[in-house]
């Protein structure tokens, strides 16, 4: 548009599906916006603003508080939206509009044989947070309640990566999707290299999702502009494949959260 | 953005609130997109595309059919969105992205004393359609089920109007909103001049809404580029006012559909 690339994303959250029933609306508002900003981050885009759809409920002032928190933290304007009446489970939507800072914006389709595979942060933190919140444990649940979109990291990476996406539905599933989108490549992951928040529950950590870390591929000799961990490499294959410690995995093996 | 003006709008629809319970999902999809395109029309904007949020239900193929119909009719691309699981009443969202064809894009705030007030089409047609559908009458209900966004009319009007909006919540309420946004003016309407679909139910027709006609103000000597009816005039006032045949009305009088 006018020589600039617009990046658009929309996510809807449903009470009892994407957030716990009865969860603090301030956390819901934060997460609603953050997961959309995370999609912009994966495109290396600067947020232009968001539109929010809010189903009126009993604690709307808390929703407004969380919205204010997240928009203030990331300096993103609220451009509009809609409030509606409704019954039953709450439903909330967010559309985020961004401006690409690098053209073409990274996609999930560009991984090439010879690239290394990287991920930021540690996986499984949201799972630990979710369980703490659900079970009322005295453990920090903020990784689940208040994920942080990696906007600065995404912009720094955008000019250098061959493919990028955020890990929303589990590392293995999102690696599979990136390999599938990229074509005739296999993603070979080494489990010993994958950073997780709970090593004793490794298999769950790499499948659970909701961490909103950045998964990306880049030439093996790239000096990374952000802190990230090399978790494997991309190799040539007859068709898209995902291998963990040499073992081929497919979506039938339960790679992540499908919804 | 890049020297162009982006127009963004989002509407959410809830089963039992904005559409009848059990209504054909094809009509829901049509209306969902059409009401957002109508918002673009009121800004004189060309649609760039839409994002759709769809709660999965039992007749999703019908939703897809209606989406296909409306996007094909208005030549609008589906850019993305989200599908979610959910229980209870259906909830659907649409974000429409447009490009202003005239800068500044018309707002509801520009009505000036001396302007004439116009509306396209006849009001109350959606009300008649709604009742026919609800009661299973053998009467055309398409005005309610499949409203037509006036995109061409909006673009033709944009360079000439002082204020414009679509009539979504009732003529009187939307006139009140336009007067309020414009400041120290009174909107003086003549009931004999207002075109309605059911003259015997005049009072309801000018309050019911959902017609998605264009309401606009323009200099009294303008040669209109579209077919519209002059329904009154804007005069100077100490504060925003709405008068029908000389009688002042306020939102407490029940001007339209507040939701």
* Distance, CA of A179 to CA of A112 (rounded, Å): 9
- Given B67, B100, B133, the domain boundary residue is B100
Residue A248: DSSP 8-state: E
Max CA pair span of chain B: 55
Domain containing A78 — which CATH number?
3.30.1330.10
- Looking at residue B259, its pLDDT comes to 47
A21 touching B, CB under 8 A? no
Chains A & B: contacts with CB separation below 8 Å = 118
| Domain match, B137 and B227 both | yes
Supply the angle between the helices A60-74 and A25-42 in degrees, to the nearest 10.
30
The pLDDT confidence band at residue A254, using thresholds 50, 70 and 90, is confident
The pLDDT confidence band at residue A251, using thresholds 50, 70 and 90, is confident
Distance between B49 CA and the closest CA of chain A, angstroms: 10
The dihedrals phi and psi of B180, each to the nearest 5 degrees, come to -65, -40
| Domain match, A123 and A228 both | yes
**Does the pLDDT at position B244 exceed 80?**
yes
Residue A15: DSSP 8-state: B
* A46 or B58, greater pLDDT: A46
**B6 and A6 in contact by Cβ < 8 A?**
yes
**Does the pLDDT at position A258 exceed 60?**
no
| Domain match, B237 and B125 both | yes
Averaged pLDDT for residues A27-44: 97
* Distance, CA of A208 to CA of A220 (rounded, Å): 27
B84 touching A, CB under 8 A? yes
- Looking at residue A4, its pLDDT comes to 84
Query: Between residues 148 and 207 of chain B, which touch chain A (CB distance below 8 Å)?
Result: none
The pLDDT confidence band at residue A93, using thresholds 50, 70 and 90, is very high
| Domain match, B151 and B222 both | yes
The pLDDT confidence band at residue A59, using thresholds 50, 70 and 90, is confident
Residue A232 lies in a domain: yes
B99 touching A, CB under 8 A? yes
B18 touching A, CB under 8 A? yes
Neighbours of A55 (CB within 10 A): 25
Distance between A55 CA and the closest CA of chain B, angstroms: 9
* Distance, CA of B148 to CA of A177 (rounded, Å): 39
Six-digit token pair at A96?
């985020």
The pLDDT confidence band at residue B88, using thresholds 50, 70 and 90, is confident
**Does the pLDDT at position B150 exceed 90?**
yes
**Does the pLDDT at position A259 exceed 80?**
no
Per the prediction, chain B carries an average pLDDT of: 94
**Does the pLDDT at position B221 exceed 70?**
yes
For residue B76, the enclosing domain spans 6-100
> For residue A94, which residues of chain B lie inside 8 Å, CB to CB?
none
- Looking at residue B1, its pLDDT comes to 77
| Domain match, B83 and B127 both | no
Domain containing B146 — which CATH number?
3.90.650.10
- Given B65, B100, B135, the domain boundary residue is B100
* Distance, CA of B199 to CA of B181 (rounded, Å): 29
A138 touching B, CB under 8 A? no
Query: Which residue, among A19, A47, A86, would best test binding to B if mutated, counting the most B CBs under 10 Å from its CB?
Result: A86
A85 touching B, CB under 8 A? yes
> For residue A87, which residues of chain B lie inside 8 Å, CB to CB?
16, 88-89
Averaged pLDDT for residues B200-219: 96
Residue B193: DSSP 8-state: G
Residue A158 lies in a domain: yes
Residue A80 lies in a domain: yes
- Say if residues A54 and B90 touch (Cβ distance below 8 Å): no
Distance between A82 CA and the closest CA of chain B, angstroms: 6
**Does the pLDDT at position A39 exceed 80?**
yes
ipTM of the complex: 0.78
**A97 and B6 in contact by Cβ < 8 A?**
yes
Residue A107 lies in a domain: no
- Given B56, B75, B100, the domain boundary residue is B100
| Domain match, B89 and B148 both | no
| Domain match, B232 and B158 both | yes
- Say if residues A232 and A215 touch (Cβ distance below 8 Å): no
- Looking at residue B121, its pLDDT comes to 96
Tens of pLDDT along A198-238?
Answer: 999 999 999 999 999 999 999 999 999 999 999 999 999 99
Tens of pLDDT along B3-44?
Answer: 788 999 999 999 888 888 889 999 999 999 999 999 999 999
Percent with pLDDT over 70 in chain A? 99
Residue B32 lies in a domain: yes
Percent with pLDDT over 90 in chain A? 84
| Domain match, A182 and A88 both | no
| Domain match, A120 and A247 both | yes
Query: Which residue, among A4, A7, A8, would best test binding to B if mutated, counting the most B CBs under 10 Å from its CB?
Result: A8
3-class DSSP state of A129: helix
Tally the domains of chain B.
2
**Does the pLDDT at position A89 exceed 90?**
no
3-class DSSP state of A58: coil
A46 touching B, CB under 8 A? no
- Looking at residue A244, its pLDDT comes to 97
- Say if residues B8 and A79 touch (Cβ distance below 8 Å): yes
| Domain match, B129 and B206 both | yes
A140 touching B, CB under 8 A? no
A219-to-A111, A222, A232 alpha-carbon distances in Å: 9, 6, 12
Averaged pLDDT for residues B151-178: 97
**Does the pLDDT at position B202 exceed 90?**
yes
Residue A106 lies in a domain: no
Averaged pLDDT for residues B200-226: 96
- Looking at residue B234, its pLDDT comes to 98
> For residue A48, which residues of chain B lie inside 8 Å, CB to CB?
1, 6
Residue A105 lies in a domain: no
Residue A259 lies in a domain: no
Distance between A39 CA and the closest CA of chain B, angstroms: 12
**B82 and A93 in contact by Cβ < 8 A?**
yes
Averaged pLDDT for residues B136-141: 92
3-class DSSP state of B117: strand
Distance between B98 CA and the closest CA of chain A, angstroms: 10
| Domain match, A68 and A131 both | no
| Domain match, B133 and B246 both | yes
CA angle A85, B105, B237 (to 5 degrees): 80
Averaged pLDDT for residues B102-127: 96
């Amino acid at each position: 548009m006018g020589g600039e690339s617009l990046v658009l994303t929309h996510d809807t959250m449903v009470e009892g599906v994407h957030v716990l029933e009865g969860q603090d609306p301030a956390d819901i508002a934060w997460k609603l916006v953050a997961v959309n900003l995370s999609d912009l981050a994966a495109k290396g885009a600067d947020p232009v603003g968001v539109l929010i759809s809010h189903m009126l409920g009993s604690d709307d002032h808390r929703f407004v508080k969380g919205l204010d928190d997240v928009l203030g933290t990331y300096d993103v304007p609220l451009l509009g939206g809609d409030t509606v009446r409704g019954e039953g489970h709450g439903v909330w939507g967010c559309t985020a509009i961004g401006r690409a800072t690098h053209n073409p914006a990274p996609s999930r389709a560009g991984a090439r044989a010879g690239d290394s595979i990287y991920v930021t942060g540690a996986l499984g933190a949201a799972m630990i947070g979710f369980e703490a919140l659900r079970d009322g444990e005295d453990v920090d649940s903020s990784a689940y309640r208040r994920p942080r979109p990696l906007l600065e990291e995404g912009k720094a990476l955008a000019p250098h990566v061959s493919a990028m996406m955020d890990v929303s539905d589990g590392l293995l599933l999102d690696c599979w999707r990136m390999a599938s989108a990229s074509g005739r490549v296999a993603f070979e992951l080494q489990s010993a290299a994958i950073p997780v928040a709970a090593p004793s529950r490794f298999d769950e950590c790499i499948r659970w999702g909701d961490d909103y870390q950045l998964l990306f591929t880049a030439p093996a000799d790239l000096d990374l502009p952000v802190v990230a961990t090399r978790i494997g490499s991309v190799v040539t294959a007859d068709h898209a494949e995902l291998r963990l410690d040499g073992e081929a995995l497919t979506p039938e093996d339960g790679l992540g959260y499908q919804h």
